[in-house]
Amino acid sequence: MNLSGDSNSTLHSSDTVQLLYVQNLIYYVANVINVILSLPANAYVLWLIVTGPKGTVASDLFGLNLAVTEILSSLSSLGFIIYYYQDSEAVYNFALFFKGFIYYGRSPFQSCICVERYLAVIHPVTFLKYKPVRYRMGCSGVVWMLVIGTCIGYMFSNATPAWKSYALSFILVQFLVMLFCCQAVLRALKHPGPVDGEGEGTNHIKQRAFKIISTILVFAVVMYLPRLLLLLSFNFIDSVKFYFALCVCFLITVIFGFLQPVLYLHRAGKLPCIGTLLGKS
């Protein structure tokens, strides 16, 4: 049984069978992690945003949408775990649709967060102009339509060369947007401003922002760069090895999908014990 939701049919040698066994084991472990760890962590983040002080939802709307996509992606993992024990085409299609949120739901909202922070630091006048929540809601609506359409396409076409080309373009655009925004913000935060040195408060705020943006950049590189390189090489490597590597990328994506809400909870002061590991934010 191929749990990954991606087609491969090369089952000739014993080495291939062993590789497929390890692939399915990795994929199963990743799905368990996604359900047991990522689901409650993201549900807690969502609850904190919704029940937070007045204005929290408006100011962190993209973060709220990101938590929702992570919760929906956990439904995919739950579906694949059920499919492991009960071979059902309906369960398989359900899991495959929601798996699209892992690959194609996270990056657009991360890009929105990066663009928002980029405008706030680099173009504050423009940021204030589009600060009202209606603009964030409109942007979120457009992103949701794109994500849902992409998830439907992934469910029906994920094994085709045309889809791999689309996936490469989709992830590459998001990755470049995040990379541009993050490096621009980091350069701006490093550049001495007119009020630097007037007090420790200003420096502390800039140092905290620097750590947050650096974390986003590192997460983006680790989560998306391996998959981008893999998609670029899918015409040059054996299909079984390609899908095995893709499964490893999925595990990395799931792990960082769990670390993301953990860091949010730490910054919110809900996980103070992590301060000894991550340092003061």
Over range 72-79, report the average pLDDT.
Answer: 92
Per-residue model confidence as pLDDT tens digits over 86-130: 888 889 889 999 999 988 888 899 889 888 888 888 888 888 888
Domain at 14-278, CATH from 1.20.1070.10, 1.20.1420.20, 1.10.1060.10, 2.40.50.100: 1.20.1070.10
- The pLDDT confidence band at residue 149, using thresholds 50, 70 and 90, is very high
| Amino acid identity at 258 | F
Query: What value does the mean pLDDT of the chain take?
Result: 81
Per-residue model confidence as pLDDT tens digits over 194-227: 544 444 445 555 666 667 777 777 888 888 888 8
- pLDDT given for residue 71 in this prediction: 93
- pLDDT given for residue 116 in this prediction: 87
pLDDT of 63 > 70? The answer is yes
- pLDDT given for residue 192 in this prediction: 58
